[in-house]
Amino acid sequence: MMRKFVISYGKIIDADLSGSQVYILEILAEEGAVKSSFLAERLSITLPAVTNLANKLVSKGYIERQIPENDRRVTLLAITPMGKEIHDIINERYATLMDALWDGFSEKEISNLLVTYKRMVKNLEEHQQQKE
């Protein structure tokens, strides 16, 4: 649910920015330069889908392809300064939204909600493990 808020703010800044593209910017801002296969795994999508998303982000100047000197067979994707700026703006607006959403909640209400979310995540993880 929270990711939907971030994606919505991404669209305000750049109407052509998809949820997956916002998530790629988030991953690259956190992880640094990574292989496409890493992104495919994190987003649970195919390598061709990552390539398509990356091509669009490269054309906007938000990410770039890098070829390490020590292994020229590898291509990494990295966030650019412009991409970092867009990522920061999205996160700032997201933080403002979250402050407004949490306004008026007591510490106990927030604590109860966090306990509930943690339990939901645990249940989801257990459900996914059972399916495997």
Residue 80 maps to a domain: yes
128: in domain: no
In a domain, residue 73? The reply is yes
Domain coverage including residue 95: 2-104
Q: What is the pLDDT of residues 8-19, one digit of tens each?
A: 666 666 778 888
Q: How many domains does the chain have?
A: 1
Question: pLDDT tens across 16-34, in order?
Answer: 888 889 899 999 999 999 9
The H or E element spanning position 75 is: none
The answer as to whether 97 is a domain residue is: yes
- pLDDT tens for 51-103 read 999 999 999 999 999 999 998 899 999 999 999 999 998 888 878 877 888 88
CATH code of residue 96: 1.10.10.10
Please give the pLDDT value at position 10.
Answer: 60
Q: Determine the pLDDT at residue 88.
A: 92
Residue 112 lies in a domain: no
pLDDT score of 130: 87
Residues 81-91 have pLDDT tens digits of 999 999 998 88
DSSP for 8-68 reads: HHHHHH-TT--HHHHHHHHHHHHH-SEEHHHHHHHHT--HHHHHHHHHHHHHHTSEEEE--
Is residue 5 predicted with pLDDT exceeding 70?
Answer: no
Supply the pTM of this predicted model. 0.74
126 within domain boundaries: no
Q: How confident is the model at residue 37 (pLDDT cuts 50, 70, 90)?
A: very high
Indicate whether 125 belongs to any domain. Answer: no
pLDDT (0 to 100) of residue 31: 96
